[in-house]
Structure 1
Amino acid sequence: MRSPISAVTIVKSRTEKLTNLITQLEQCSPTPDELVIVWMAPPSDLSLVRSDKFDIVHKFVTQDALPIAKARNKGMSAAKHANLVYLNVDAVIAPSLFRDGLLALRDNTVVITSVVFLPNERCCKPYRQISKDEKEIGYLASNDDTLPEDDNNEIPSRDQEINHGKFSDDSICSTVFFIRKADFHKTGGFDEGYAGFGLNDEDFFTNCRALGFSLEQLPTRTFAPHRPNYQCPINHLLDFVHNAQRFHSKWGFYPCVNVLNAYADQGFINADFKQNGIKIKHLPQQVEEDTPGAPAEKPMVTNAQNNIAFTSFHSPEKESGLLSTSA
């Protein structure tokens, strides 16, 4: 049975993740009525993939590449239903996702799920198997209120200052979220003025709250691979600083202050950025690909001391309790 909702995802090169997502959607009860796929790169063998369970609508670029914000906006605008759900292409979703989300969704509300980040190889199993394994291990979701005392490689660090509480966890919120199409249009969509890495999600959900929308979290869990781009390494310094300045000019405060403080501690930006704005003092040095000991496939950026990677979000304070669900 189909539900009156449009699912939206964007994809560039991770076509194997798209295949897995479509399979998951086909196993949902109910399924979405349509899946809108925005291709951020030239077409591939999957660019006309179809499903017997729901309609698939393909949207293609008219240029060499499509930025993430523009791709998301294109997909959400192309959806035909009043109810929308955005899905990261590598999300592993619950079979009850659409039933649970539609029960909770209402006007002026964004509904998100609980999210558990896992090593990529553990996200290749069916949802029920992953869920069973994680219950046995005891990991909790990255945006749950209560987390294990000891950090581990699968859960982002929480040993950091909470800044602006409810604004600090939006990178996780964007993994899966439901919103009315009319409400998405009220936001103006994702700000396409952000360049490169960082803070577009924080900006979008800050905008939602500024409009008076409520963010409600389902107890329904989503699993996702813990990839390096969930963090903020210093090779994205320029993008992050540019985007932080844009964010501050719009909202009057800096997001992800722990990242900026870490930049300041390493001497890349001024320590008094809150009072005097961000000024770049010097740039990190690029490691050459042929440097002995440096990974050939992914050169890192470092300073003279060591490699540094800073997390780009915090565990948030919640404005409301978990929603009840029939799952």
Structure 2
Amino acid sequence: MTTAVITIAAGRHQHLWAQQRGLALGDRRPDVYVAVAMGDPQVGPRTVDGPLTGTGALVLPVELAAGGPLPLAAARNAGAAAALAAGADVLIFLDVDCVPAPALVAAYTDAVHHESGPALHCGVVQYLADGVDAAGIHPADLAGRAHPARPQPGPGESLESADWPLFWSLSFAVSARTWAQLGGFCEEYVGYGGEDTDLGYRAFRAGITLRWLGGADAFHQYHESPSPPVAHLADIVRNATVFHRRWGFWPMLGWLQAFADLGLAHYDQDRDRWQVLTAAPDAVPAGT
């Protein structure tokens, strides 16, 4: 099978380099690597001259609207289209912050090859502590803390789950056939939040299995991530509204309620809608 790894990037160049180094050191290198550069001209030369030099890595530039949010959903779809055009049978989506464990590519490829029906395969993501330099440590020696709300199967295990809201795009794999069945990410979502939840729910509605795969671990490199993500307030409220229009219920309610508690957003019960409010200067937590 021909396996592609797809990542989207805007900045985070050191994280991108560490990811590509991890792939180069893996038990199996991807047959195709696509880096989608969202308005960042540095992604191209850093990839072409980086750890995957000579492997046929592809760089796909995606232009940004002036001052607009990052087109995360559209960028992933564009990367998938480029991988499929290059002959990929297996699509692995890996967040730019994620360094693959040595077995990740092989584990995902094997899981897709032996699946009994269409599935979203999600590996375990371990979060590295602040100060861990993933670029200077062999991926086999990395260790972090897995997200406590998500399954943590061991190597060789695959756990089927009906808990579709847990799906995320940090690290997952699908067959080319399943990707075609899903139709990719909905490009009505622009900026941060919602596109993962939409894809997970569409998979659930289509009878596509969510499987948590042991052995396909990835290590998420540290970066500041305030909770709730106030820098993405407008994106999250807008994308939650898109999801509500498409499916009839609200996603990301934890974040939306946290924004409301900070005086940054308001839920109009009579009109069943969320809206962004003007924040008082002291309403935003320190460090955001």
Give the TM-score of the pair, scaled to structure 2.
Answer: 0.80
Flag the 1:87–1:276 CA change in 2: closer, same or farther, 3 A: same
In structure 1, distance between residues paired with 2:261 and 2:227: 17
Separation (CA, whole Å) in 1 of partners of 2:65 and 2:261: 38
1:156-209 Cα offsets, whole Å, 9 max, x none, are xxxxxxxxx824333xx3111110122212222112111322212111222221
Change (3 A) 1:62 1:115: closer
Deviation at 1:235, TM superposition (A): 4.0
Alpha-carbon distance in structure 1 between the residues aligned to 2:59 and 2:228: 31
Aligned to 1:57: 58
Please say if residues 29 and 99 of structure 1, whose CA atoms lie closer than 8 Å, have aligned partners that are also in contact.
yes
Report the equivalent of 2:158.
none
* CA distance in 2: counterparts of 1:115 and 1:236, whole angstroms: 22
Matched, 1:242 2:246: no
Report the alpha carbon displacement of residue 4 of structure 1 after superposing the two structures with TM: 2.1
Is 1:115–1:142's contact at 8 Å kept on the other side of the alignment?
Answer: no
CA distance in 1, matches of 2:202, 2:59: 28
Deviation at 1:144, TM superposition (A): 3.8
Q: CA deviation at 1:55?
A: 2.3
Partner-residue secondary structure (3-state), 1:39: strand
The CA distance in 1 between the partners of 2:276 and 2:49, in whole Å, is: 49
2:266–2:276 contact (8 Å) kept in structure 1: yes
Q: Report the AA paired with residue 259 of structure 1.
A: W
Return the alpha-carbon distance in structure 2 between the equivalents of residues 247 and 277 of structure 1: 13
The 1:233–1:31 alpha-carbon spacing in structure 2 relative to 1, beyond 3 Å, is closer
| Unaligned ranges ≥5, structure 1 | 147-164, 288-301, 311-327
Among 119, 134, 148, the alignment partner of 2:129 is 119
Does residue 16 in structure 1 map to residue 14 in structure 2? yes
Deviates most, 108-117 or 188-197: 188-197
Distance in 2 separating the partners of 1:41 and 1:281: 27
Q: 1:237 to 1:62 in 2, by over 3 A?
A: closer
Runs of 4+ residues over 6 Å off in structure 1: none
SS in 2 for 1:122: coil
Provide structure 2 residue ranges, at least 5 long, that are not aligned to the other structure.
Answer: 153-161
Secondary structure of 1:249's partner?
helix
Change (3 A) 1:281 1:217: closer
| Cα distance in 1 between the residues matched to 2:233 and 2:40 | 29
**1:1-327, aligned counterparts within 5 Å?**
4-44=2-42, 45-46=45-46, 48-49=48-49, 51=52, 54-62=55-63, 67-79=71-83, 80-105=87-112, 106=115, 107-124=117-134, 125-131=137-143, 134=144, 139-145=145-151, 166-170=163-167, 173-220=168-215, 221-229=217-225, 231-270=227-266, 273=269, 276-280=271-275, 282-285=277-280, 287=281, 302-303=282-283, 307=285
Contact 2:268/2:274 (8 A) holds in 1: no
Three-state SS of the structure 1 residue aligned to 2:48 is: coil
Percent identity at matched positions?
25
Which TM-score applies when normalising by structure 1?
0.71
